[in-house]
Chains A and B, each alone.
Chain A
């Protein structure tokens, strides 16, 4: 592999791209629910020689590792579980609040708070995502699954600003970032802003032809290389996604 490119995790796709993904690229993976964006993120996170960090907002660590093992991928990526942290801090708090609202507040509940329990403030997960990435040794390989969590919970402006920071850091350090995003669920404006920011967009698509479900990997965008835009037939096999034909 040439020193200026990195593997995306699918050897045939690397070849199609002329050896791999240029270093410094931010890759956006879009698709409808169930199209395999999460799967591709994990395959990406299991490939290459760079130190890899996998940010998840929805899955448990053990499920991620188990899927990687099942496909014979390496599991050396460091997993940062934003979803779990979100549950512990925000969702658990909300549950507690609804309990207090329902059952009433007792004096002990107030004293409990005063005696040592740290004043809970809401963690800004978007800021902590950008922070975690900023302190990674470079060059790095980062997968973020998924951006939808951040769009749902934070202002558009904030999300875009954090994405810009991550993208700039990825670019200047010659690293590689892959971000997943659901298709057609967000406002078109935010979707296009994110697409505009990405250096490469991969869309996962399926189509039912007769009894058969055909799956495609569509290259929607490759910065400065429009010739690579195209629709590739793919399959999800025992060792992951591979291209057909």
Chain B
């Protein structure tokens, strides 16, 4: 079940550090891709995104988490006690957590809906930070919350296009966390995110024999071949573990 594109030139990779995911992606996310990490609540999006950053930071790549709704301080308090997480990563600024509302506030973007000009300003400021700090991995958690401040598809499109262009120019690989209501078919709230991103990793919940399993599936990934199989995801202190979803198994699944 692999979507093979054999004759594609091999692009440089950004190894996520999550071994199973890197295997699915034949080595990692193609460098400087902007991908959508999408799923309903409780599917492990933030944990996976954070793990992606921590591995990067451990590897000496400066990584930045842009928190939109939750304060980054609170986020750290609730983070899974990963074996490999080291607070020094934050102290030495290899892992940088920034609250996007602080940027809103600094730039006076206080109105409920931003103008097109302000969207440009916001993207510009984020890219400036990435450049200033030499960020190689960026997570925006979540693009959906940013979208609520942009309101129209046109502005969300502009935001995503500009940010992915800007990030790609400085070889920064990014994950945009996207929230969708449980049970929807769409990969994103405003429908434009999924079309504009270079890749989609879908995370879900699945009930099997009374257990609620987390699942992960790579839907699309530009610049690499990848498995499209569904995996069962386990969040452990050793990080994300993925095992192929066993078909059948007693009729618990449809």
Contact string, B100-140, partner A, CB cutoff 8 A, digits 1/0?
00110111100000000000010011001100110000000
The answer to whether A104 has its CB under 8 Å from any CB of chain B is yes
Give A100 to B128 CA distance when docked, in angstroms: 12
Q: Say yes or no: B108 contacts A105, CB within 8 Å.
A: no
* Cβ of A99 to closest chain B Cβ, rounded Å: 10
Q: Determine whether the beta carbon of B107 is less than 8 Å from that of A120.
A: no
Partner of B125, one of A105, A113, A114: A105
Q: How far is the CB of A128 from chain B (nearest CB, A)?
A: 20
Quick check: A110 and B132 within 8 Å, CB to CB?
A: no
Indicate if the CB atoms of A101 and B103 lie closer than 8 Å: no
Instruction: State A107–B96 Cα separation when bound (angstroms).
Output: 10
Partner of A100, one of B99, B107, B129, B133: B107
A interface, size bucket: 10 to 19
Given A97-B107, A110-B103: A105 and B98 within 8 A (CB)?
Answer: no
Asked whether B107 lies within 8 Å of A101 as measured between CB atoms, the reply is yes
Q: Which residues of B contact A214 (CB under 8 A)?
A: none
Closest-by-CB residue of A relative to B71 is A114
Q: Which of A59-111 contact B (CB under 8 A)?
A: 93-94, 96-98, 100-101, 104-107, 109-110
Q: Are A107 and B129 in contact, with the CB atoms below 8 A?
A: yes
On whether the beta carbons of B105 and A113 are closer than 8 Å, the reply is yes
Q: Is the interface of B mostly helix, strand, loop or mixed?
A: helix
> Does B132 contact A107, Cβ atoms closer than 8 Å?
yes
Q: Are B102 and A110 in contact (CB under 8 A)?
A: yes
In the bound complex, do residue A113 and residue B133 qualify as a contact, i.e. CB atoms below 8 Å apart?
no
Interface string of A113-126 (1 = CB under 8 A from B): 11000011000000
| Contact residues in B for A100 (Cβ distance below 8 Å) | 106-108, 125
A16 CB to nearest chain B CB (Å): 51
CA distance A105 to B99 in the complex (A): 14
Minimum CB–CB distance for B42 against chain A, Å: 28
Chain A residues within an 8 Å CB radius of B103:
105, 110
> Does A120 lie within 8 Å of B105, measured CB to CB?
yes
Q: Determine the distance from Cα of A109 to Cα of B98 in the docked complex, in whole angstroms.
A: 11
| Distance between A78 CB and nearest chain B CB, rounded to angstroms | 33
Is A114 a contact partner of B108 (Cβ separation < 8 A)?
no
Asked whether B121 lies within 8 Å of A101 as measured between CB atoms, the reply is: yes
Residue of B whose beta carbon sits closest to that of A119 = B105
Q: Which of A93, A98, A110 contacts B98 (CB 8 A)?
A: A110
Chain A residue contacts of B125, Cβ below 8 A: 100, 104-105
Report B57 CB to chain A, min CB distance, Å: 16
Known: A107-B129, A107-B133, A110-B102. A94 touches B124 (CB 8 A): no
State whether A105 touches B105 (Cβ < 8 A): no
Q: Are B106 and A113 in contact (CB under 8 A)?
A: yes
Q: Is the CB of A97 within 8 A of B106?
A: yes
B124:A104 contact, CB within 8 angstroms: yes
- Decide if B102 touches A106 in the complex (CB within 8 Å): no
CB distance from A231 to the nearest CB of B (A): 48
Contact at B124–A113, with CB atoms within 8 Å? no
Q: How far is the CA of A96 from the CA of B106 in the complex (A)?
A: 8
In the bound assembly, the distance between CA atoms of A214 and B107 in angstroms comes to 51
**Residues of A close to B129: CB separation below 8 A:** 105-107, 110
- By a CB distance below 8 angstroms, the chain A residues around B124 are 104
Contact in complex: B133, A105 (CB < 8 Å): no
- 4 cross-chain pairs, A with B, having the tightest CB-CB distances, nearest first: A97-B108, A105-B125, A104-B128, A100-B106
Known: A97-B108, A106-B129, A107-B96. 5 other contacts (CB 8 A): A98-B108, A105-B128, A106-B128, A110-B129, A119-B105
